[in-house]
Amino acid sequence: MPWALRHAHHARETDLLRVNGQTLNMQTVMGYLDWLWQDAALVTGLVDGCLVREAVEIRGIGASDGEVRAAMLGFRREQGLDSGAATDGWLRRRGWTRDDLEHECRRQVIAGKLRAQIAAGRVRSYFARHRGQFDTAAIARLRLADRDAARRIARRIKPGGIEFTRTLEETILARPAGTATSTFETVRRRDLAAAHARAIFGAPLGGVIGPMRGADGYDVLRVLRIARARLDRPTRELIEQVLFEEWLATRRAEATVEWFWGDAERAVTRAGSARRPR
């Protein structure tokens, strides 16, 4: 179609696309996507994105070209993209362009500055009040689908029983695929359910715990190491994120949210106050 006529056909603001003369409008699209309103994280994220943009504009936060270049360099290093070809391949697999990557890095730099401003002067005092919540434990975890089997294994490997690592291997090899898994991991107290945190951080080194009900099975654990929290860089960044999320929750509770599409009544229970405009 000649360029002068490309926008000459009639379309309402609510129309999204037209295929062979059939027009799809936003109301129909939102009907197809009704499941969105069941997803609390997604609905809340939509509101949070607006609140963050508002705060960035009010505070006048921006990112210089140098900061964006440094963020892109750090991103490539983290992803192991050590050449232009590797970067282009990564972008192509995700349907991104270099401009998309630059935009995302700029957004992350700005978001980091906002978090730092909100947390300014409060990190050390928060750590002092909640230090125990940032303690970590290194554990070996055996997860089984069957509670009785987990109980029998836990009894066998109590202090004085058979060796834990050998039990992991024997159990996984002897049971059907998917019914037993094992991991070695480091967990933080604040990320655990209260009962699990008390059991893990109250156990002696080498102690065996369980079975405990997990997300998709029953866990038998051995505590390998307990580490007292330090205000190092990862902990400082985590506290900044915690303070940012608390600030965001407060702003969300105070916000007036207008849902122009979708199920506003369902969304209000997930993402703060809401009202549908007349």
**What are the tens digits of pLDDT across the range 162-187?**
577 777 777 777 766 666 777 888 99
pLDDT string in tens for the chain (278-residue length):
444 444 444 556 677 777 756 677 766 766 666 666 667 777 788 888 889 999 999 999 999 999 999 999 999 999 999 898 999 999 999 888 989 999 999 999 999 999 999 999 999 999 999 999 999 999 988 888 888 888 888 877 765 555 777 777 777 777 666 667 778 889 999 999 999 999 999 998 888 888 888 778 888 888 999 999 999 999 999 999 999 999 999 999 888 888 776 555 655 555 554 444 33
User: Which pTM does this prediction carry?
Assistant: 0.72
Say what the pLDDT of residue 225 is. Answer: 93
pLDDT (0 to 100) of residue 152: 82
CA 257/CA 247 separation, integer angstroms: 17
